[in-house]
Structure 1
Amino acid sequence: MIIFRMRKKVQMDDLNDENLQKKPVVVLTRLPEFTLNALQPPTPQQFDSEAESPDSSDSDMLWEPEDDSGDSDFGAKKKSQHSHKMANDVNVPSPLVSSNNNSTSNSSVCNNDINSGSKDSNKAAEAAPIIVSAAFASNSNETRKERPDFPEMAIALDMVVLARRRVMRWQQGKIVEIINKDDGRVKYKVIFDEKGKSLVSGHHIAKKTNPKLDQLYVGARVLIQSPEDEQCFLSGLLAELPSRKNRLRFLVFLDDHTPVYVSLPSLYLICRQMADPLEDLIDGPHKCFMEQYLRSWPYPHLTHYKEGQTLKIELNGVHQKCQVESVDCSLMKVVFEENGETDWIHRGSLRLEHMSKFLELKQTPEPKADNSDSK
């Protein structure tokens, strides 16, 4: 009887042994950043940026997910696929994506065509970039393309203005006479501060005061002060309004195709805007680019390069090899290998070899099927 009780006690002790009892264990697995973003609903901050990190407004670093060696569930191929999908589907509002479905397919065609001509797959630095056509922003105040319904700016005698003296050179002067032509046109005689005078139209006069933000729109003719000469002002077209994507700056394409970011105090609005903003531009590549740019806005085509990546850019009529030194929103600074010169260029410029090829493929008509009976 005593023996039986001892055995029973042993069995009960075994059941109370901590080593034999099951305990719940929580295993934490760190998911990649792009997976977390995909699970979260779009936020206003995501609407204002193609792929914007919390500590930087430069969107180019997030087009490919970070390499997490501890995550064995996603290989290199899957990471590339998720990167391309994230850039086009997650960080842009769905209504804007639906109105721009052709951009992804065109990008794929362009990249496949360029990559097929490359024989050395080890040259990662020369790989073709991603070309996207994502919405610039969702706020109408940031994408405004139509001219606001404001009365024309008054031009009066003795007014201090900025007037065109010759192409790409505007200077400060004073209106001394207003001439009404028989055909209804109005001309203004301007005497410049640095001697000389000129007879110009309202299309070639700007007030020497900064405009209000609600007067500006993409495609407006504007002036900026020349960085090389304080007495000279340069004409151009407004290409971007302030937003989180460009760090609250204005992008201006000067009439010589030079892109530059400026703030509101550096802008001057031309008094009489032309019905066709391209009318003042000389026929050539820049005019063709601006026509395509305004037509596609607010879905501009942009190539995505990384710092250190090599590419070819047209310079003096020839595509020359260069390297990306830095990226600033829609612009990037490149260094030409041949002479070490630097240049700022728009990431959608036709000077980019990949962009020019992309647009050529996009504009090439599809061959028609021959339905005639063969004999």
Structure 2
Amino acid sequence: MSASLCETMNETMSEATHWGNDSDDRIKNAVVVLTRLPDYKISALRPPTPLQFYSEDESPSSSDSDMQVEPGDDDSDSDYSVSNNKPNTVRREAPRAQAPRAQAASTSGSNNNNGAEVVAAPSFDPESKVRPNLPEEEVKVDMVVLARRRAMTWKRGKILEIVTKEDGRIKYKVGFEERGKSLVSGHHIAFDQTPTLEQLYIGAPVVVRVQTNNPLYQPGILAELPSRKNHLRFLVFLDDHTPIYVSLPLLHLVCRPLEDVLEGLPDNNHRCFMKRYLKDWPFPHSTQYKAGQTVHVELNGVQTSCEVQEVDCSLIMVEFETNHLEQWIYRGSVRLQQHMARILESNENEGK
């Protein structure tokens, strides 16, 4: 190492030592200064508020809820399981189509001053049984629809022709996807697309997809709209009196419903039941049941003893003692012995 380089290093070290001891303190101590940000900057740094469907009065954790819905996909194809609030119990397969949760609202968001998205409240009344005053949707040739083939069987097809009869009635010639054609009335075809909540109301005639692998559709009447009490599902009474909870994608609106929707029901007992149900709504007559309770339910025209296996909001699942058949029954059904007597009594009083 050269002498000049050694001298330079010594001078540098000496100068550094001098800086450390110098009274003018050339090396400054670090100082942290905390400055409060304005509120608008703090708000901008917060994460967005998650979307909420429930209002404060309709929280899913409300004590009025009978049971908790198990988490899962909202996929409409997963519609055959029923959840309950009993821990460590085996879940039974229900002999009905049921979606885990209804897609109960389509919301539009806007930003508030804090940058969080605001979700609009549902614009429908879950207790309304008045048909909304909306423009009638057009039915035209080449439109894909669901059409009646038999009393409880509807299939997808395409409108081939719109026929006006001599008396002014309009009929629709439908060619089905599988094969065959039918000439049907407007109340025997339904829109293929999913309806909006604004179009739905208690007593609306609908068609429900009850089978997914080989699509099968059955007609019914809408009996409950999504609410906290039914865990955001739609209750439909099929025309054969079968109750079924479904999600929105499984529903289809009848294109041209009858003025009196009950006129088209094939079974007289079910017609009487629906008449009473719609008249009593929003307080239809029903009875509370609990698992393990013995009840009598009509099966093939005979009142048969069975046991309540599960309670799901407005429905109970019963197991018949004779053949161990399991079925879902509405808690105010005419198939229940005590309610059948009430319906018959009501009919007699109205006939006087």
TM-score, length-scaled by structure 2 = 0.64
Would you say 1:52 and 2:65 are equivalent positions?
A: yes
Residue 210 of structure 1, aligned match among 184, 194, 197: 194
CA distance in 1, matches of 2:141, 2:347: 50
Would you say 1:260 and 2:244 are equivalent positions?
A: yes
Residue 313 of structure 1, aligned match among 281, 294, 297: 297
Q: CA deviation at 1:273?
A: 1.5
What is aligned with 1:230?
214
- Aligned residue identity for 1:348: G
**SS of the residue 2:133 aligns to:** coil
What is aligned with 1:279?
263
Q: CA deviation at 1:220?
A: 0.8
CA distance in 1, matches of 2:67, 2:216: 39
Q: Aligned pair in 2 of structure 1 residues 241, 50: CA closer, same or farther (>3 Å)?
A: farther
CA distance in 1, matches of 2:227, 2:215: 30
**Where does 1:1-375 land on structure 2 (aligned, <5 Å)?**
44-45=57-58, 51-52=64-65, 141-227=125-211, 230-359=214-343
Q: CA deviation at 1:226?
A: 2.7
- Aligned residue identity for 1:222: V
Q: CA deviation at 1:142?
A: 0.6
What is aligned with 1:118?
none
What is aligned with 1:80?
none
CA distance in 2, matches of 1:277, 1:299: 20
**SS of the residue 1:307 aligns to:** coil
Look at both structures and tell me which one has the larger radius of gyration over its CA atoms: 2
**SS of the residue 1:354 aligns to:** helix
Cα deviation, 1:6-42, whole Å, max 9, x if unaligned, reads xxxxxxxxxxxxxxxxxxxxxxxxxxxxxxxxxxxxx
Q: CA deviation at 1:285?
A: 1.0
**SS of the residue 2:291 aligns to:** coil
CA distance in 1, matches of 2:259, 2:175: 27
CA distance in 2, matches of 1:150, 1:176: 26
TM-score, length-scaled by structure 1 = 0.60
**SS of the residue 2:211 aligns to:** coil
**Once the two structures are aligned, what percentage of the paired residues are identical?**
52
Where is the helix percentage greater, Structure 1 or Structure 2? Answer: 1
**SS of the residue 1:278 aligns to:** helix
CA distance in 2, matches of 1:213, 1:140: 7
CA distance in 1, matches of 2:285, 2:63: 13
The answer to whether the Cα contact below 8 Å between 1:153 and 1:272 also exists between their aligned partners in 2 is: no
Q: CA deviation at 1:230?
A: 2.6
Q: CA deviation at 1:363?
A: 6.9
Structure 1: state its 5+ residue gaps.
1-42, 62-138, 366-375
Q: CA deviation at 1:202?
A: 1.3
Q: CA deviation at 1:227?
A: 2.3
Q: Aligned pair in 2 of structure 1 residues 297, 196: CA closer, same or farther (>3 Å)?
A: same
Cα deviation, 1:57-79, whole Å, max 9, x if unaligned, reads 9xx99xxxxxxxxxxxxxxxxxx
Cα deviation, 1:272-307, whole Å, max 9, x if unaligned, reads 111101011114211111111111111111110110
CA distance in 1, matches of 2:291, 2:333: 18
CA distance in 2, matches of 1:49, 1:278: 35
What is aligned with 1:93?
none
Q: CA deviation at 1:180?
A: 1.5
The answer to whether the Cα contact below 8 Å between 2:293 and 2:308 also exists between their aligned partners in 1 is: yes
The answer to whether the Cα contact below 8 Å between 1:49 and 1:245 also exists between their aligned partners in 2 is: no
How well do the aligned residues superpose, as a CA RMSD in angstroms? 2.9
Cα deviation, 1:216-246, whole Å, max 9, x if unaligned, reads 1111110111327633210011110000110
**SS of the residue 2:311 aligns to:** strand
